[in-house]
């Protein structure tokens, strides 16, 4: 994105460069605690530091989830249109790539919608993982509560693991539509939900390659 990262980020990077050692590192307790506090303050969702698994990026996390929760030849389902790397997960992991279409806007400038009937029709006996994007890239949709709860019910009924990419959650411009993490809105998904978050979109630091699941 064509704007500078916040001064605090730039200053921290200067300090790191001055430190001069760029070897392997791990997520520090301070980093884990910061994400916990950020989640509670911005989304009202209390999370545990022990839930966090920091990874090089969200795209690797999508692949890791497919490998962890499905077997070769089983299905990984994605709604289209979607950020293109979602569509490559099946091919890269030896899984079957499965898709269904979002309902396009009924009028020019209208909203794309989650078509729950199309989603359920696309679920096959071998479908194991749903790769979801919330808020949605590229349509910009902030999903309604009824859409998300309908998705959660289908995931529960068909025993799907849901991988919810929530990277754009801090870029919602409508103050009346705050981000609602899927894990907070649908606690019944707790045993089958992986939430992906990263500072990359919020602070425009995608090149630093860090994410959390």
Contact 145, 152 (CB under 8 A): no
With a CB cutoff of 8 Å and minimum separation 6, the contacts of 123 are: 77, 154, 158, 160
Maximum alpha-carbon separation in the chain = 55
Is the CATH number of domain 27-212 3.40.50.920?
no
What pLDDT was estimated at residue 210? 87
In 3-state terms the chain splits into helix, strand, coil percentages (rounded to 5) of 40, 15, 40
Low-confidence ranges of the chain (pLDDT < 70): none
Q: How many CB atoms lie within 10 A of CB 106?
A: 9
Residue 2 is predicted with a pLDDT of: 84
**How far is residue 57 CA from its own chain's centroid?**
11
Closest CA to 171 of 138, 208, 207, 130: 138
Position 109 scores a pLDDT of: 87
Rounded CA separation 191/193 (Å): 6
Per-domain residue ranges for the chain?
Answer: 27-212
Burial of 47 (0-12, 13-18, 19+ CB in 10 A): buried
Between strands 54-55 and 211-212, the pairing is antiparallel
Strands 96-101 and 161-165: unpaired
Q: What is the pLDDT of residue 147?
A: 97
């Amino acid at each position: 994105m064509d704007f500078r990262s916040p001064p605090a980020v730039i200053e921290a990077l200067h300090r790191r460069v001055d430190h001069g050692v760029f070897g392997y590192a791990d997520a520090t307790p301070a980093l884990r605690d910061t994400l916990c506090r950020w989640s509670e303050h911005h989304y009202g969702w209390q999370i545990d530091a022990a839930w966090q698994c920091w990874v090089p990026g969200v795209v690797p996390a999508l692949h890791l989830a497919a490998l962890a929760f499905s077997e070769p030849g089983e299905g990984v389902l994605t709604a289209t249109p979607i950020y293109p790397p979602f569509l490559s997960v099946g091919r890269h992991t030896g899984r079957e790539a499965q898709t269904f279409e979002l309902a396009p806007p009924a009028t020019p400038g209208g909203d794309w919608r989650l078509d729950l009937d199309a989603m359920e029709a696309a679920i096959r006996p071998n479908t194991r993982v749903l790769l979801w994007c919330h808020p949605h890239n590229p349509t910009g949709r902030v999903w309604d509560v009824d859409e998300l709860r309908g998705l959660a019910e289908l995931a529960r009924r068909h025993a799907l693991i849901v991988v919810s990419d929530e990277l754009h959650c801090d870029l919602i411009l409508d103050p009346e539509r705050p981000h609602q993490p899927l894990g907070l809105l649908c606690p019944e998904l707790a045993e089958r939900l992986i939430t992906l978050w990263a500072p990359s979109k919020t602070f425009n630091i995608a090149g630093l390659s860090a994410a959390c699941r």
